[in-house]
Amino acid sequence: MRKSPVLIVFIVCFIACLPAISAQNVNNLDSALAAAREARGKAIDFDGNSYFPGEWEAAEGQFARAGLLPKDSGDAIKAYNEAAAAFNRIFELAVPLFAQAREDEIMAEREYMITLGARSFFPEYLMDADRAAVLALKQYEAGDYLAARDSAAIALQKFMVLETAFNAWLLRVEILARGFAGYDSDNFELGGEIVSDAMDAYMAGDIKTARKKADEALAIYNTVLSTSWASYAELRASLAEGERLAALDMRTDIAAKEFFKIADSDNKTALALLKSKKFEDAARLFIDAEAMYVIASITALEKKRAAAAAIRYAEEKIQESDRILRNVGENR
């Protein structure tokens, strides 16, 4: 059978157009794959895989199946579009949950800072962190979710840096209040310089450096406090031992046995704590022991005074009796 010229022309044109049709399918497929990947990435960025594990598993299955379909078929494009839609749905559901979780974290850090007293002592730094949190909220309300996520992360980091820096500052205050600054003066001064560096970096927006410096300052002040307690415990041990020897000289172990026994028990426990490097507990107990040794000594002294007074009184009574007897004898 002879073919029609029209049919021959149609077949030739169809064959000539096949590469163009195939190229268009590939382009559409690439776009669909890119859209699915982008949607998947956004869902992950907002923890959608954690919030909705069942839906996530189904979307992942759809995405995997799309990759197994022939690349030049419309089915692959359709499958990727369906996967993208599933990931976008998870993203939409995850955004409010993610935003609430970040807000809860930020508010917990902020409230803790306020409880510590940061509003009074670190007001300008706290206000800066508050501005970052407000920016995140505004971006979320405007639907700019990726920017809101990043701003919330920055706000949380700022509050966390402030917490560390403020805790370091509170240790500095405690060291000064206890009179410990002189025990490790070099590190004490170094800690102050590093806290200052941390806050300068914080206000310059260099959160990474600020966090590093704040952590360093906190570690230094903890070391200063620990070293100071060790030296202070040794001092209190020496003072307690001095009072113990003084009490023994006054024979308080006999004259005020009950108080001396308590003091000695506290002193022995404190020595054990000192040996175990529990310096703060040891220092406190040495103070108690020292005070109890003093009480024992005072008690013993009072007993001696009372005994001496009693002896004087008895002697006076004896002398008075002798006078009475002599007067009676003389009158006879």
Structural domain boundaries of the chain? 9-95, 229-331
Q: What percent of the chain has pLDDT over 70?
A: 83
Check whether 87 has a pLDDT greater than 70. Answer: yes
- pLDDT of res. 312: 65
Q: Which two tokens stand for residue 94?
A: 């995850």
129 versus 253: the higher-pLDDT residue is: 129
- pLDDT of res. 246: 87
Check whether 323 has a pLDDT greater than 70. Answer: no
Q: What percent of the chain has pLDDT over 90?
A: 64
Convert the pLDDT of each residue in 149-202 to its tens digit.
999 999 999 999 999 999 999 999 999 999 999 999 999 999 999 999 999 999
- pLDDT of res. 6: 39
Q: Give dist(CA 228, CA 260) in Å, integer.
A: 29
Q: Are 155 and 126 in contact (CB under 8 A)?
A: no
HEC profile of 198-209: HHHHHHCCCHHH
Mean pLDDT for the stretch of residues 57-81: 90
Q: What interhelical angle do 74-116 and 123-141 show, nearest 10?
A: 150
Check whether 24 has a pLDDT greater than 60. Answer: no
On whether the pTM is more than 0.75, the answer is no
Mean pLDDT for the stretch of residues 270-276: 93
| Amino acid identity, position 83 | A
Convert the pLDDT of each residue in 274-290 to its tens digit.
999 999 999 999 999 99
Q: Give dist(CA 194, CA 215) in Å, integer.
A: 10
- pLDDT of res. 326: 59
User: What value does the mean pLDDT of the chain take?
Assistant: 85
